[in-house]
Structure 1
Amino acid sequence: MRKEERKPVSRPAKIELGEGQVLTCRIADTSRGGALLLVENSEWLPKSFVIHDTFSGSRRRVRVKWTSPNRAGVQYVDAAIAVPAARRSAGFGKRV
């Protein structure tokens, strides 16, 4: 049994590696404590990085807890940092 309930999602995201380097991925599920990322070459991920949920605009610092081919389980190490609505582009998923 898990500590926290997971919620299945399918959201586009970016892994921010620093110095302008970014990898694309998808968030497959999320909980209060972490997320499952679907990413190519997960074995090459650094131990910690920032994950940017491009759907919600939030950014979180995470620590890699485990990897398997094309998957990584990450633990959140800080609170969500939301991108101000004015900086997000209007489009899919927004009411107009």
Structure 2
Amino acid sequence: MSLDFSSIHNHHESSVFEAVQEMAPRFPDVAARNELLIDVACIALNRVQPRYIRHRVDYLFYLTEAERAANGQMIASAVQQAFEFVSARERARPVVRAAA
């Protein structure tokens, strides 16, 4: 028997992706490079506890307003920290100049 698990996903993914896009203008050095924004999203997702679901509406139905607010704050904090981490890492990298 073959099972289709493609409907399972981490509930926080879309919220983290939205937060990365909203916060990106505050970090222009990172926002200028798509691969760095993807790094930010990965780092932020690794900082939040995953919530695997099949249907977003089912998960949201069972959350209280306090839990929704806590999730929002957790995601905002994780994304902020991820941007700061990636920005610091990029500033610390040596500049490679092309040979003249």
Normalised to the residue count of structure 2, the TM-score between the two structures is: 0.23
Normalised to the residue count of structure 1, the TM-score between the two structures is: 0.24
Structure of higher RCO (CA pairs closer than 8 Å, 6+ residues apart): 2
Q: Judging by fraction of residues, say which structure has more helix.
A: 2
- Larger gyration radius, structure 1 or structure 2: 2
